[in-house]
Amino acid sequence: MTITTQALFETEAAVARNGVGKPGLLHPVRVTGLGVAVPPARLTNADLEQMVDTSDEWIVTRTGIRERRIAAPEVATSDLALAAARAAIADAGIPVSEIDLLIVATITPDHLFPATACLVQAGLGLPGIPAFDLSAGCSGLAYALDQAWHGLAAGAYRNALVIGADTLSRIVDFSDRRTAVLFGDGAAALVLHRGEPGEDAGILASHLGADGRGGSLLILPAGGSRKPASHATVAAREHFLRMNGQEVFKFAVRILEESTRQVLAKAGYSPADLDLFVPHQANIRIIEAARERLGLPPERVVVNVDRFGNTSAASIGLALAEARERGRLRPGALVALTGFGTGLTWGSILLRWTKTENDGGQK
Ligand code: UT7
């Protein structure tokens, strides 16, 4: 099905009318830890040329991707999530026991149940705290950050561990050239800390949305309650993701711009105020189109899709971590994280980078 631009604008207008995103926030919340984990194995375009009818030239021109990381057979989403979580907690400089909320955004959980968050929780040795998965595709990290932010700001929690982790390689059909070239595996984790009233806020605004009418545009057809796994579903390769690339492309370009403008407006800013734009890394052409629409110079946009492909819920976290590693996140920088994905969903987080230790030259 096709989502019209007009329909999506109507959705946006409804969101704006309802005043969503402006609760009475009591506590400032800031990022105090950031960690990532990617598998060491690289799948290059040359490798893919041996697997499907494609070429390095086509992949680079149409997507900007040169290689992606692929998890070893014995590694699942929770393993990457746990490694990223440990790195983020170490980066925050707090004992693991200080974490009191755990959210994992993923669409490739280890199992349908139990939640991957519970597996990570067990791995960290943190029994008792709430732990749950959140399914919002490539917008998952933005969604999870929004939920943790509100929980902390309301005073319900003190330190939240928010993880975006996916092993899309497990649900990609490596005989389908339309999707095989796009995706990679990875995990990113952030520790959010509740400050005291009056302290500087890190997270300034969020903007989330969804339009379920586009649900069939990017879907894993079988393996759930609608179509349980059977010989027939396996034979039809319905346990691999299906995507209408062109429709998702059009949606992505429009929503990247729109959601970023909305989150900036909520905090009284415009695109010109942005120091760093961290968009979901799906396709360089989508990122470039959104960058131009927002009027941003290339040096204010983070791009690593060339080396990791589309890592789904990990994507904006991996890009943020790389920006920090390269010294592009100075304290006080105004940063927008914007994702879009299956659902259809979209989500933006606007923050001031407040963390100073470990910024630049590490990891
Ligand atoms: O996280 C959100 C998830 N997804 C996305 O953000 C994806 C959004 N969409 C896209 O990034 C792009 O639509 C794709 C990269 C998926 C496809 O690029 P496109 O420029 O939209 O290509 P297309 O689908 O219009 O296909 C053009 C041609 C077709 O051949 P014909 O019919 O013109 O002969 C395809 O069969 O390119 C062909 N093609 C390929 N050729 C070589 C499709 N995939 C490949 C390939 N190698 N890997």
What are the pLDDT digits (tens) for 94-109? 999 999 999 999 999 9
Averaged pLDDT for residues 280-295: 98
pLDDT score of 279: 98
pLDDT score of 25: 61
- In this predicted structure, the answer to whether residue 363 has a pLDDT above a threshold of 50 is no
Distance (Å, whole) CA 163 – CA 144:
8
What are the pLDDT digits (tens) for 19-28? 334 445 689 9
Which residue CA neighbors atom 12 of ligand 1 most closely? 245
Amino acid at 213: R
Does ligand 1 have an atom closer than 6 angstroms to the CB of 45? no
Distance (Å, whole) CA 265 – CA 136:
23
Residue for token digits 């319905």? 238
Which atom, in ligand 1's list, is nearest to the CA of 342?
2
Q: Are 203 and 32 in contact (CB under 8 A)?
A: no
Centroid of ligand 1 to alpha carbon of 183 (angstroms): 13
| Burial grade of 348 (CB within 10 A; 0-12, 13-18, 19 or more) | buried
Task: From the options 3.40.47.10, 3.40.50.2300, 1.10.20.140, 2.60.120.10, give the CATH code of 1-363.
Answer: 3.40.47.10
Which atom, in ligand 1's list, is nearest to the CA of 177?
48
- In this predicted structure, the answer to whether residue 133 has a pLDDT above a threshold of 70 is yes
> Does pTM top 0.85 for this prediction?
yes
Beta-strand ranges (E) seen in 7-100 are 29-37, 42-44, 67-69
- CA angle (237, 169, 319) in 5-degree steps: 140
Q: Are 140 and 339 in contact (CB under 8 A)?
A: yes
13-17, 208-212, 253-257, 345-349: least confident range: 13-17
Which atom, in ligand 1's list, is nearest to the CA of 48?
48
Which residue CA neighbors atom 29 of ligand 1 most closely? 178
- Mutation pick for ligand 1 pocket among 45, 51, 60, 62 (CB with most ligand atoms within 8 Å): 62
pLDDT score of 48: 98
DSSP 53: S
Does ligand 1 have an atom closer than 6 angstroms to the CB of 250? no
- Which residues lie below 8 Å from residue 177, measured CB to CB, with a gap of 6+? 52, 53, 54
What are the pLDDT digits (tens) for 30-57? 999 999 999 999 999 999 999 999 999 9
Any idea where the domains of the chain sit in the sequence?
A: 1-363
- In this predicted structure, the answer to whether residue 215 has a pLDDT above a threshold of 50 is yes
Distance of alpha carbon 1 from the chain centroid: 24
Residues annotated as part of the active site: 138, 280, 310
- CA distances (Å), origin 280, targets 158, 172, 266, 362: 28, 19, 20, 23
- CA distances (Å), origin 227, targets 107, 233, 261, 292: 17, 8, 39, 41
Centroid of ligand 1 to alpha carbon of 174 (angstroms): 15
- In this predicted structure, the answer to whether residue 361 has a pLDDT above a threshold of 70 is no
3-state helix, strand, coil in the chain (%, to 5): 40, 20, 40
Which residue CA neighbors atom 16 of ligand 1 most closely? 245
pLDDT score of 236: 97
Average pLDDT, the chain: 92
Which residue CA neighbors atom 17 of ligand 1 most closely? 245
Instruction: Locate all alpha helices (DSSP H) within 66-209, ordered by sequence.
Output: 77-92, 116-124, 140-153, 177-180
Residue for token digits 């059909």? 173
What are the pLDDT digits (tens) for 296-336? 999 999 999 999 999 999 999 999 999 999 999 999 999 99
pLDDT score of 1: 45
What are the pLDDT digits (tens) for 264-275? 999 999 999 999
φ/ψ of 232, rounded to 5, equals -65, -40
φ/ψ of 69, rounded to 5, equals -95, 140
